Amino acid sequence: MSGPDWANVADKSLADGSAGAPIVRVDNVSKWFGSLVAVSEVSFDVRPGITGLLGPNGAGKTTLLRMITGLAEVSQGEVTVFGGSPRTDPELYRRIGIMVEHEGSYDFLTGRRFVELAARLRKVADVTRAATTSIDRVNLADAADRPIKTYSRGMRQRIRLAATLVHEPELLILDEPLNGADPRQRIEFQELLLRLASEGRTILISSHVLEEVELLASRVLLVVNGKLAAEGDFHAIREALDDRPYQVRILCDRPRALAAGLIGLEAVDSVQLDDDTLIVLSSNVGALQASLAHSAADLGVRLTGVEPLDDSLESVFGYLVDR
Amino acid sequence: MTSIYFLSLRQLQSRWRIAALIGVAVVPLVPAIVSFAASDKPTALELDDTLINGLLASAILPIIALALATPVFGNELEDKTLANLTLTPLRRWQIVAPKLAAAVSVAIPLIALSALVSVFLAFEGAELSGGQRAAVATAIGLAIGALVYCAMFSWLGLVSRRALGVGLLYAFVWEGLFGTFVDGLKYLSVKQYALSIINALDPARFDGSDQTVIGVTTAAIGSSVVLVVFTWLTVRRLRRMDVP
């Protein structure tokens, strides 16, 4: 069985409205540390909108972002941002806002002073106003005049985000920005990112918390073991994984009877019965949906729930890692 | 650039560091005070040998410069805050220059004040004339030495996680030990540059000294070259390194 056609997946995504000059171009980039290859021959473009850089911990996401931002030099290949390299042309940082995962902040400064410092370093004209606006954006006005050393982890993330946004960058690069955020902050953050993207900004966000990025990103880049395993629209990628059956959990009053009835259906590859839980593996979910209700009715089984088990990025990761 | 200068000054102002540096800076007052109490008063050459050369130039100067210059980048690397500066539209020299200025602007007053007070008091206590001139000459020579050392140790703080240890080895083994026994090394010693400038500003004090001191022109050129080269190396390193 042939694998998914990743090139077509990517093309589909571009055709869906993300065409135009790339803001970020990563061309055949590798990074190694001694004999350890952290990133291997990765190529992709990032265009306006939200792009999710996804992968399990240790996949090479942060290394990739560090090369894109200019914090790390590429061992091979080329990275361009707005057509240039931030490492040789720091002026590009006027257009880029970067929030690095493990970046420290100056704990002795207050949140406001920290954001004002970021504004000054980025040569913002009205520092005070820009800092106030940015702090308001991340809902940290109440704590802005407290030293950062008194902040919780979530507050530190928010003040760093305020510093990242203070110069109104066209391109935002955010590495694991939701670490330490509570559920309410996550929702606020997601709303903020969607708002920023709707203003025409380009956002590249990395995360290993997949569900939250799935809600945000119009396009995803999947990095596994230092390689780009897939890129494009998440659902297009999922559909392209047609060599792997979907798992569907079926809740009913007589799972054994239903399992016996379903096993002969063309849409069903196999069934698993674990205690009273029926899990069906199907390569044709559409056909399964169409026939499930009829089969249950014929068997006199009452269905109480049907849940896809693997329509998440987590499952895609797992599948890609296992391949 | 002023933002980075004041930020760096603030970073250097940890309580323990300031206390330790003041402690180091007052050490030369001990021989100065002793010279008041001594019945056998030291000569100018003895003061030069023990206080100016032996203590101020050989120990106080490199220790204070090391303690102030290595953290300007070293602490940023350790705290992972350097990215806050490098991910900005600033040219790398615009980051290096204010950081070096911050280290120098604390190091020079400390060292110069320590030299001024201790040398003047020592000459007064020893009932010697020319104490004012010797104190001013020592303060100026050591201030120039502090500038050069700070450039060197700022670079060291950027390239080595053990900058303090390496800097101490350089100051005490290379300059202190080898520099004393291998005559040619005087031309590659910041301490010798400082001593030569002191000598040029107060030549009478060295009358009768058996020390061989390099010429002041050589010292001025050497100081300038070391200052420029290590500042350039710091800028270059900052441009090429992977910032944590």
**Tens digit of pLDDT for each residue in A137-160?**
999 999 999 999 999 888 998 999
Q: Is A90 on the interface with B (CB under 8 A)?
A: yes
Which residues fall within 8 angstroms of residue B235, CB to CB, at 6 or more apart? B92, B93, B96
ipTM of this model?
Answer: 0.88
What kind of fold does domain A246-322 have according to CATH?
A: Alpha-Beta Plaits (3.30.70)
Q: Give the pLDDT score at A6.
A: 38
Q: Give the pLDDT score at A317.
A: 64
Residues of A in contact with B240 (CB under 8 A): 73
Residues of B in contact with A96 (CB under 8 A): 87
What mean pLDDT do residues A20-37 have? 92
Flag if A108 and B90 touch (Cβ within 8 Å): no
**In angstroms, how far is CA B21 from the centroid of its own chain?**
12
Amino acid residing at B170:
Y
Q: Give the pLDDT score at B190.
A: 94
A77 vs A2: which has the higher pLDDT: A77
Residue with tokens 């003061």: B47
Q: Is B79 on the interface with A (CB under 8 A)?
A: yes
| Torsion angle, alpha carbons of A54, A57, A58, A59, to 10 | -20
Q: Give the pLDDT score at B35.
A: 86
| CA distance to partner chain A, nearest, from residue B99 (Å) | 14
| Torsion angle, alpha carbons of B168, B172, B175, B179, to 10 | -160
What mean pLDDT do residues A54-75 have? 92
pLDDT level of residue A13 (50, 70, 90 thresholds): very low
Window B:1-20, CB contacts with A under 8 Å: 3-4, 7, 10-11
Q: Where do the structural domains in chain A lie, given as residue ranges?
A: 6-240, 246-322
Q: Give the pLDDT score at B206.
A: 65
Q: Is A79 on the interface with B (CB under 8 A)?
A: no
Q: Is B162 on the interface with A (CB under 8 A)?
A: no
Pick the range with the lowest mean pLDDT from A23-27, A287-291, A313-317. A313-317
CA A145 – CA A159 distance, rounded (Å): 11
Residue of A nearest to B79 (CA): A104
- A218 has a pLDDT exceeding 90: no
Q: Is A34 on the interface with B (CB under 8 A)?
A: no
- Parallel, antiparallel, or unpaired: how do β-strands A171-175 and A202-207 relate? parallel
CA B60 – CA A187 distance, rounded (Å): 56
Q: Give the pLDDT score at A244.
A: 65
B185 vs A226: which has the higher pLDDT: A226
Q: For an interface test with A, which of B10, B14, B76, B87 has the most A Cβ atoms less than 10 Å from its Cβ?
A: B87
Q: Give the pLDDT score at A142.
A: 96
Q: What is the mean pLDDT of chain A?
A: 85
Residue of B nearest to A75 (CA): B242
Q: Evaluate whether A61 touches A53 at the Cβ level (below 8 Å).
A: yes
Residue with tokens 């600033």: B90
- A231 has a pLDDT exceeding 90: no
- A207 has a pLDDT exceeding 70: yes
Flag if A70 and B91 touch (Cβ within 8 Å): no
- A237 has a pLDDT exceeding 90: no
Amino acid residing at B202:
D
Flag if B84 and A103 touch (Cβ within 8 Å): yes
Q: Give the pLDDT score at B55.
A: 94
- A19 has a pLDDT exceeding 80: no
What mean pLDDT do residues A309-322 have? 61
- A313 has a pLDDT exceeding 80: no
A222 vs A164: which has the higher pLDDT: A164
What kind of fold does domain A6-240 have according to CATH?
A: Rossmann fold (3.40.50)
Residues of A in contact with B88 (CB under 8 A): 90, 93, 121-122
- A16 has a pLDDT exceeding 60: no
Pick the range with the lowest mean pLDDT from A8-17, A312-321, B159-168. A8-17
pLDDT level of residue A238 (50, 70, 90 thresholds): low
| CA distance to partner chain A, nearest, from residue B155 (Å) | 19
Q: Report chain B (244 residues): mean pLDDT per 10 consecutive residues.
A: 94 90 95 86 88 93 96 93 95 97 97 96 87 94 98 96 93 83 83 92 73 84 97 97 92
Give Rg (Cα) of chain B: 18
Flag if B87 and A69 touch (Cβ within 8 Å): yes
Flag if A73 and B3 touch (Cβ within 8 Å): no
Q: Give the pLDDT score at B140.
A: 97
Backbone angles phi, psi at A76, to 5 degrees: -155, 150
Which residues fall within 8 angstroms of residue A178, CB to CB, at 6 or more apart? A157, A185, A186, A189, A207, A209, A212
| One-character DSSP codes across A254-322 | -HHHHHHHHTT-TT-SEEEEETTEEEEEES-HHHHHHHHHHHHHHHTPPEEEEEESS-SHHHHHHHHHH
Among candidate residues A83, A27, A23, A78, the one with its CA nearest the CA of residue A47: A23
Flag if A72 and B242 touch (Cβ within 8 Å): yes
- pLDDT > 90: what percent of chain A? 46
CA A183 – CA A67 distance, rounded (Å): 30
From the CB of residue B13, how many other CB atoms can be counted at a distance below 10 Å? 11
pLDDT level of residue A216 (50, 70, 90 thresholds): confident
3-state class of A80 per DSSP?
A: strand
pLDDT level of residue A322 (50, 70, 90 thresholds): low
